[in-house]
Structure 1
């Protein structure tokens, strides 16, 4: 029995170093915010131009909003490299579709395609929150919001990004009329019936207030306005109806023929 009274040395020696856990995390949050609001015959999609990491500003002009075709505009927020790569792949698929079918893809179909692309990468997802805005086949404005793995829904408005906690409650109150009561004898509040000039003012107010609170938001504001085909743009081009400081530029058609009209509205934001 004495032969087995002591356990072998390999069982009694203590490890000389603690175990090391190895991780691979390629993601980063590059700040900024995006939002979109759907109107009766238009859609407004906006984003700021600051790109940061923590409290370090990497660049003061980084696009977050992209025109896909004459009907659709996509806003991305989260990991900037993933966002740029994802937009590139979406545009590539839209180009293939147009070559194969000789017509641009509709907004509803683009939303479904984006959902499929995001869900297909769910095990190593794009760290990007997407908001798609544009004009549907029936001429109405529409907004689709997505999470990084493809869950999506159509909404009247949606905000995302660093200042989402500030912007979304404001939009809920002003677009969905949450916690508001119509005056006696007036019509019931209906989301999506606000005029374009009012929507633009709400967008500017949203980003102006977010810039005051978040270092991740600021520098510049880019607003894309997609209008129903044949709709007058007088309310957008009339400087008296716009907030001061807005610069309006009409973008050319991306496809063949005359489609919906798309405008780019720019404004400077606070620089810190």
Structure 2
């Protein structure tokens, strides 16, 4: 039935659906999952890495986490080449706002501006939707810490906890049950690791298979974006009982 209506992004089916947008969402469903959790003192982002080649220099490259501005970062699920274009667009928009008004761009305004771009690619012929979903984490003086999720259609919304990518429905179910409004950042990290352990495709969770980033305020009041190193991730996995500590060799 869809074959008559999916050849153009601008053609509606009789049911009022845009099949090309739904195909883009299906591509995201096959990508490594990403989870965002809002806590009272920060935002935690965690993502499953699909590329685990031993030849990949993981200490200097990121697959899931990207910094947009000093106060905003994002986690990605979907086609990375599409994500790179949108991330660069968001960075330019954030810097233009800072140059014009001499203050950081409000998080929701940045997300809305990027989603307007994404929506335009579903509205005009000769284009295809971006096959990527984002989880945006940031802080501004208007609303404090914030977490937003956006999809290829250009929709976005503020969330306390959200998941995109593979097995996102199962992850959302666990988040609904276990999320607490007054959770600290450490508790959010523990919950994120628990959710990823139960929903990822791999049988065991190791530091090579995930990326973890946090957005929080330093004691001096500055916004800090921190990506955990593989060594730090290994310690966290052991601390929260996800993996066993390595046996010491004599």
| TM-score scaled by length of structure 2 | 0.69
Q: Is the 8 A contact 1:48 1:219 kept in 2?
A: no
Count of residues in correspondence between the two structures: 202
Cα offset for 1:193?
A: 0.8
Q: Are 2:137 and 1:133 equivalent residues in the alignment?
A: yes
Partner SS state of residue 63, structure 2? coil
Map 1:96-135; keep pairs closer than 5 Å: 96-123=96-123, 124-135=128-139
Larger radius of gyration between Structure 1 and Structure 2: 1
Q: Identify the match of residue 182 of structure 2 among 178, 193, 205.
A: 193
Q: Which has the higher contact order (CA 8 A, sep 6+)?
A: 2
Q: Identify the match of residue 164 of structure 1 among 128, 144, 168.
A: 168
| 5+ residue gaps, structure 2 | 1-6, 9-19, 243-250
Superposition RMSD in Å: 3.4
In 2: Cα distance, 1:94 partner to 1:207 partner: 31
Matched residue, 1:34: 34
Matched residue, 1:245: none
| 5+ residue gaps, structure 1 | 1-22, 53-58, 176-190, 232-257
Residues 214 and 98 of structure 1, relative CA distance in 2, 3 Å threshold: farther
Matched residue, 2:15: none
Residues 51 and 166 of structure 1, relative CA distance in 2, 3 Å threshold: farther
In 1: Cα distance, 2:48 partner to 2:79 partner: 15
| TM-score scaled by length of structure 1 | 0.64
Higher normalized helix content (fraction of residues): 2
Q: Deviations over 1:16-58 (max 9, x none)?
A: xxxxxxx799976562111111112311112122249xxxxxx
Q: Is the 8 A contact 2:122 2:153 kept in 1?
A: yes
Q: Is the 8 A contact 2:33 2:200 kept in 1?
A: no
Cα offset for 1:226?
A: 1.0
Q: Are 2:140 and 1:151 equivalent residues in the alignment?
A: no
Q: Is the 8 A contact 1:227 1:261 kept in 2?
A: yes
Residues 99 and 92 of structure 1, relative CA distance in 2, 3 Å threshold: same
In 2: Cα distance, 1:50 partner to 1:162 partner: 11
Partner SS state of residue 69, structure 2? coil
Matched residue, 1:85: 85
Cα offset for 1:262?
A: 2.1
Q: Is the 8 A contact 2:215 2:225 kept in 1?
A: yes
In 1: Cα distance, 2:207 partner to 2:129 partner: 27
